[in-house]
């Protein structure tokens, strides 16, 4: 499997020039026992060449890095009213899992950017500007994505780091050699555009009453960097047609009845059902989405 470089993919490669600046670097915030032994071995990729900042969440000296992650997270999830409680961060992310993202040197940040972090101290050299959390599950080889956010959601268009949210999850999947990633997102969330571009995207639940938000989509994807290219060059996947065919079913994201109908089909074993990334990338929330079956 060969993967194109970002420069080859983007018409305007300046869009992601932040990725090669020395004032922005990827970080991992992982307790030593959860350390990944051979990072970045599974997928051949040249996208993440900067030195990785490593912080230890079990060290008192690194606690303000956790505070800054939570500052960012709470602001990013303010609107959706789903900020992560601090104990959830510790019990359900740091202890079992793996936290990663990008950090920026405080000395390069604008006053506005700094204002997103009420607990920022002058001695904090690196400030997390994105966050992804992933946790191993009991199902063999499967991980579950638990949180994704980026400072872009708080920034004006001209001050964004294009692709930061997308590349945060991509970096973590690459670094931790993750093959299968499950996740949960709301059908109407714009983040679905991103989540569907990490690999073949199977719907595990279309309607999820056990969640606080029943209109939650649970997905499972087989990580495939070919889809990351598709995200950046806004193409359609070259092998989708070969592997999947349109079923007679479709779903409308805002129509609870259609979500429930799809859920019943899944529960009665009519699947597995897949969504097509290019339809999610370009479609509006009102469009109905085709549901695909493997050929
Ligand atoms: C969702 C989130 C992580 C995306 O990260 P990001 O850094 O903003 O997005 P990226 O720069 O990586 O992605 C860029 C692409 O996604 C699209 N996109 C990102 N956020 C979007 C939004 N809120 N609405 C519409 N499109 C959005 C951009 O338009 C762009 O697509 P384009 O190339 O067609 O212009 C970020 O907006 C965020 O933190 N949101 C708040 C928390 C949240 O909802 N997290 C997801 C939980 S499942």
Per-residue confidence (pLDDT) for residue 283, from 0 to 100: 79
Q: List C-alpha distances in Å: 202 to 80, 118, 164, 256.
A: 24, 39, 24, 19
Residue with tokens 């602001």: 75
Cα 291 to Cα 270: distance, rounded to the nearest angstrom: 12
Lowest-confidence pick of 47-56, 71-80, 281-290: 281-290
Per-residue confidence (pLDDT) for residue 1, from 0 to 100: 65
Q: List C-alpha distances in Å: 248 to 43, 156, 257.
A: 35, 41, 16
Ligand 1 probe mutation, 6, 78, 191, 279, most atoms within 8 A of CB: 191
* SS3 state at 187: coil
Ligand 1 probe mutation, 116, 165, 166, most atoms within 8 A of CB: 165
Residues having CB within 6 Å of any atom of ligand 1: 76-77, 80, 148-150, 152-153, 162-166, 185, 189-191, 193-194
Q: Is the dihedral of CA 169, 172, 175, 179 positive or negative?
A: negative
Cα 129 to Cα 225: distance, rounded to the nearest angstrom: 23
Over range 217-242, report the average pLDDT: 90
**For helices 225-233 and 164-175, what crossing angle results, to 10°?**
170
Ligand 1 midpoint to CA 81 (Å): 17
Q: Answer with the residue of higher pLDDT: 6 or 104.
A: 104
pLDDT at 135 over 80: yes
Ligand 1 midpoint to CA 72 (Å): 15
- At 234-287, the pLDDT tens digits run 887 778 889 999 999 999 999 999 999 999 999 999 999 999 999 998 878 888
Strand residue runs (E) in the chain: 24-29, 53-55, 98-105, 126-128, 130-136, 142-150, 180-186, 199-205, 216-223, 244-252, 273-275, 288-294
Per the CB < 8 A criterion, the answer to whether 203 and 169 are in contact is: no
Counting atoms of ligand 1 from 1, which one is nearest the CA of 130? 39
Per-residue confidence (pLDDT) for residue 79, from 0 to 100: 87
The pTM of this model reads: 0.96
Per-residue confidence (pLDDT) for residue 81, from 0 to 100: 84
Mean pLDDT estimate for the chain: 94
Ligand 1 midpoint to CA 123 (Å): 30
């Amino acid at each position: 499997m060969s993967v194109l470089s970002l420069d080859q993919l983007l018409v305007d490669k300046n869009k992601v020039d932040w990725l090669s600046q020395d004032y922005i670097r990827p970080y991992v915030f992982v307790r030593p026992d959860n350390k990944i032994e051979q990072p970045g071995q599974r997928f051949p990729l040249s996208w993440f060449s900067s030195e990785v900042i490593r912080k230890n969440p079990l060290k008192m000296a690194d606690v303000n890095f956790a505070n800054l992650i939570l500052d960012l997270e709470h602001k990013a999830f303010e609107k959706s009213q789903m900020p992560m409680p601090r104990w959830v961060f510790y019990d359900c992310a740091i202890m079992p899992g793996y936290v990663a993202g990008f950090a920026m040197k405080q000395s390069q940040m604008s006053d506005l950017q700094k204002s997103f972090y009420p607990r920022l101290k002058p001695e904090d050299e690196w400030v997390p500007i994105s966050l992804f959390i992933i946790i191993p599950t009991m199902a063999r080889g499967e991980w579950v994505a638990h949180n994704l956010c980026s400072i872009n959601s708080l920034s004006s268009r001209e001050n964004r780091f294009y692709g930061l949210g997308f590349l945060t999850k991509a970096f973590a999947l690459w670094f931790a050699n993750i093959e299968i990633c499950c996740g949960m997102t709301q059908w109407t969330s714009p983040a679905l555009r991103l989540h569907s571009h990490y690999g073949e995207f199977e719907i595990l639940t279309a309607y999820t009453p056990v969640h606080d938000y029943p209109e939650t989509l649970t997905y499972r994807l087989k990580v495939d960097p070919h889809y990351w290219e598709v995200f950046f060059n806004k193409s359609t996947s070259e092998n989708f047609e070969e592997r999947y065919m349109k079923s007679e079913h479709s779903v409308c994201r805002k129509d609870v009845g259609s979500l429930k109908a799809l859920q019943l089909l899944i529960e009665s074993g009519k699947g597995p059902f897949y969504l097509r990334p290019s339809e999610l990338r370009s479609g509006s929330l009102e469009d109905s989405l085709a549901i695909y079956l493997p050929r």
